[in-house]
């Protein structure tokens, strides 16, 4: 609505800020293609209203999409057509959007929601959060375990009752694992997380900073409520 007809809540919000909204009379993907943006191979987020023509343009320009199904569901914005993206050759990886929109940063949960609209095998689900996600970010040597790559990996414990009985590790991880089952994360060969601790990170200081930020946000909301009530 915002791009094509200059209407809707986003257009209203822009106008309230004193900015002009000019209807483009075309889809957002067609607009950025016309402006030359797609030639830069951008990472496009959500894409819940994109049709086959739009996905075809994205694929032709070798741009990519970050698919965030849990965020889209939480916000009620629609559902990106993952099946169409895969059929038309779009490079797509899974994302979480943010804790504000999606509740938690759990790519396992994102993968399980993604398959509700596009049936995938466990290995295909894992690719969406590893090698396919790296390709969407235009990162080489990431998302795979092989000589010469970055040495990024995540280890998942299968000790939880919901995981222990599965015969296939890929099926167990994609079907039942959560972020709480992660026991080790390594980035570029350096351990950044191990069983509840973050080596080199002042956890107490970070939590204190979070509490200060939360308190400031609560105070700001209370102040706005008082002003609104007056």
The alpha carbon torsion through 132, 134, 139, 140 (nearest 10 deg) reads -60
Tens of pLDDT, residue by residue over 144-185, are: 888 989 889 999 999 888 887 778 999 999 999 998 899 999
Work out the pLDDT band at 74, boundaries 50, 70, 90: confident
pLDDT of residue 162: 82
Q: Rounded mean pLDDT of 65-73? A: 93
Q: Assign 229 a pLDDT band (cuts: 50, 70, 90).
A: low
Contact 85, 55 (CB under 8 A): yes
How large is the average pLDDT for residues 23-30?
Answer: 94
- The CA distance from 227 to 215, in Å, is 18
Label residue 110 exposed, middle or buried (CB < 10 Å: 0-12, 13-18, 19+): buried
pLDDT band at 29 (very low <50, low <70, confident <90, very high): very high
pLDDT digits (tens, 9 = 90+) for 110-141: 999 999 989 999 999 999 999 999 999 999 88
Place 102 in a pLDDT band, splitting at 50, 70 and 90: low
* CA pair distance 44, 177, nearest whole angstrom: 27
Task: Return the pLDDT at 230.
Answer: 44
What confidence category does residue 203 fall into, taking pLDDT thresholds of 50, 70 and 90? confident
Query: How would you list the strands of the sheet with 182-187, edge to edge?
Result: 153-156, 182-187, 190-194
- Give the whole-angstrom CA distance, residue 192 versus residue 186: 6
Average pLDDT along the chain: 91
| Percentage of residues in the chain having pLDDT higher than 70 | 97
* Cα–Cα distance for residue pair 127/112, rounded to 1 Å: 13
The confidence score (pLDDT) of residue 24 equals 93
pTM, full prediction: 0.82
> What pLDDT shows up at residue 170?
93
pLDDT at 78: 87
pLDDT for position 19: 93
Q: How far is CA 97 from CA 46, 73, 133, 192, in A?
A: 9, 12, 14, 21
Percent of the chain with pLDDT over 90: 67
Q: Residue 200: is its pLDDT beyond 50?
A: yes
Strand 182-187 and strand 190-194: pairing?
A: antiparallel
Q: How many whole angstroms separate alpha carbon 184 and alpha carbon 193?
A: 5
Question: How far apart are alpha carbons 130 and 153 in whole angstroms?
Answer: 9
Which tokens is 177 given?
Answer: 């694992």
């Amino acid at each position: 609505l915002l791009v094509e007809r200059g209407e809707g809540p986003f257009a209203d919000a822009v106008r309230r800020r004193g900015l002009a909204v000019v209807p483009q009379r075309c889809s957002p993907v067609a607009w950025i293609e016309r402006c030359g943006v797609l030639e830069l191979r951008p990472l496009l987020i959500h894409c819940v209203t994109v049709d086959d023509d739009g996905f075809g343009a994205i694929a032709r320009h070798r741009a990519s999409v970050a698919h965030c199904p849990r965020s889209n569901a939480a916000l009620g914005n629609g559902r990106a057509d993952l099946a169409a993206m895969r059929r038309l050759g779009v490079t797509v990886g899974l994302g979480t959007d943010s804790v504000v929109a999606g509740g938690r940063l759990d790519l396992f949960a994102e993968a399980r929601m993604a398959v509700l609209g596009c049936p995938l095998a466990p290995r295909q689900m894992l690719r969406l959060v590893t090698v396919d996600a790296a390709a969407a970010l235009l990162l080489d040597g990431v998302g795979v375990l092989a000589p010469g790559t970055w040495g990024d990996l995540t280890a998942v414990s299968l000790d939880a009752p919901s995981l222990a009985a599965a015969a296939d590790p890929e099926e167990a991880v994609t079907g039942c694992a959560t972020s709480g089952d992660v026991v080790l994360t390594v980035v570029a060969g350096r351990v950044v997380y191990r069983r509840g601790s973050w080596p080199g990170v002042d956890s107490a200081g970070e939590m204190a900073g979070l509490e200060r930020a939360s308190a400031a946000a609560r105070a700001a909301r209370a102040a706005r409520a008082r002003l609104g009530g007056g």
